[in-house]
Amino acid sequence: GDSVTQKQGQVTLSEDDFLFINCTYSTTTYPTLFWYVQYPGQGPQLLLKVTTANNKGISRGFEATYDKGTTSFHLQKASVQESDSAVYFCALVDGTGGYKVVFGSGTRLLVSP
Amino acid sequence: EAAVTQSPRSKVAVTGGKVTLSCHQTNNHDYMYWYRQDTGHGLRLIHYSYVADSTEKGDIPDGYKASRPSQENFSLILELASLSQTAVYFCASSDGLGYAEQFFGPGTRLTVL
């Protein structure tokens, strides 16, 4: 079945550092891809969504482009702030029927001031 | 005002006991979902529903039942709670299939002893 892989369990940065979180996916269809963010004590919330390959999703300074050739959907931000500390989930819409979303295992971002 | 609420926010249950987790949404969404979150596994879909009085199995339905008595309410029922069901449970709603943004509740932390 469709799957999403996030190999980085945790990323630790200082404020103003560049952020890069890896995500790769596997699907037999043309996926819709998401990044969700979960702040401490809250449920996940949508950060950005991309429906077409090579299109860039941008939100709150974060950006992601999905590359069909490398099946990657990495999340980037030029300069992180302490308030960006959270867990980031890469996700895709399952190709069978499109009724469900498959989530990656999440990457915890810790930003120190 | 929070659009997806869950109750209780935390619960301690005994092995073999019955547990009911409740979810209420004011988004006027047709789709509702129950996920569980475990460290290292991200979010996994248990049950979902797209109309009142009907529920569908997700990826890990064993040991769980769901009930959708109205558009606004969606419950998750553990008839015989087990240690392995200790997790954080999230409810979500959306206005369409997986392609649509999902709005999550704050979660319920369930501990089975």
Q: Which of B6-20, B32-46, B57-71, B77-91 has the lowest mean pLDDT?
A: B32-46
Whether the per-residue pLDDT at B52 is higher than 70: the answer is yes
The closest CB to that of A101, out of B50, B90, B98, belongs to B98
Answer with the residue of higher pLDDT: A32 or A111. A111
Measured in angstroms, the CA of A104 and the nearest CA of chain B are apart by 6
Whether the per-residue pLDDT at A44 is higher than 90: the answer is yes
Measured in angstroms, the CA of B45 and the nearest CA of chain A are apart by 8
Write out pLDDT tens, residues A21-40: 999 999 888 788 999 999 99
> Is the separation of the CB atoms in A102 and A75 below 8 Å?
no
Amino acid in the structure at residue A3: S
Give yes or no for A44 touching B (CB within 8 A). yes
Give yes or no for A58 touching B (CB within 8 A). no
β-strand pairing of A107-112 with A10-14? parallel
Give yes or no for B83 touching A (CB within 8 A). no
Mean pLDDT of A35-52: 93
